[in-house]
Amino acid sequence: MSHTIILKNIAKHITLNTNEEALFVSLLEYQKVKSKKIILRQGDVCRHSIFVTNGCLRGFTIDANGFEHVLSFAPQDWWIADMYSLLSQKAGNLNIQAMVDTEMLLLSKVNQEKLYLEIPKFERFFRIITEKSLVAHQQRLVDNLSLTAQQRYKKFCTIYPNLINELPQKQIAAYIGVTPEFLSKMKAQMFKKNK
């Protein structure tokens, strides 16, 4: 397969010459998994940053009562990892699972460190995407503190219009922080009011 998508993703923030592109690409591993495959399990040490070239992953935790909470969806052109575990190299508590058949590129922690040494520009790249991710998480935190479930759902719909029709409703509920039953009732109510 080609690496067009990931190189374009990188090019959003830093400029690589041909040699650098080649080095970068040589550090990636390709992986293809079937829908529902679990790529990382709670308790494992996360050893890779994952870039999705096709399909969709989700990162989620399972709490003490057995409920799942979705931390992030990673559709095409997104990065995902258990940042805590990746950085500390300790057991994490994130699960990463394929929502559909998915193709991805893996950058191991070791290779990522190598990249920082050989092409310091990548410090900048990962700084910038981490900053963006932080901003998004802060906003989501504020939303969870200040919005009602219905407002959070509506916001989700506007931010991820593509995902709404592709994801099982259960997963959306686990992302916005309500039970699947309640999301179902909420939608029914919203529909009524629109008539």
Residues that bind its own copies (CB under 8 A): 61, 63-65, 67, 69, 71, 83-84, 87, 116, 120, 123-124, 126-127, 130-135, 137-142, 144-147, 177
Q: Which stretch binds DNA (CB under 7 A): 15-23, 53-61, 133-141, 184-192?
A: 184-192
103 binds DNA (CB under 7 A): no
Q: How far is the CB of 5 from DNA (least distance, A)?
A: 25
Each residue 107-146 as x (binds DNA by CB under 7 A) or -, in order, gives ----------------------------------------
Q: How far is the CB of 103 from its own copies (least distance, A)?
A: 25
Q: Where are the alpha helices (DSSP H) in 39-108?
A: 83-88
- The encoded tokens of residue 177 equal 């922080």
183 binds DNA (CB under 7 A): yes
65 binds DNA (CB under 7 A): yes
Phi, psi of 180 (to 5 degrees): -55, -35
Tokens 């959070």 identify what position? 152
182 binds DNA (CB under 7 A): yes
Q: What angle do CA 37, 85, 44 make, to 5 degrees?
A: 45
Each residue 157-176 as x (binds DNA by CB under 7 A) or -, in order, gives -----------xxx------
Per the CB < 8 A criterion, the answer to whether 49 and 81 are in contact is: yes
Q: How far is the CB of 102 from DNA (least distance, A)?
A: 14
Per the CB < 8 A criterion, the answer to whether 124 and 49 are in contact is: no
| Alpha-carbon torsion (166, 169, 174, 177), positive or negative | positive
Q: How far is the CB of 135 from its own copies (least distance, A)?
A: 5
Q: What angle do CA 66, 63, 98 make, to 5 degrees?
A: 80
- Say how many C-beta atoms besides its own lie within 10 A of residue 34's C-beta: 10
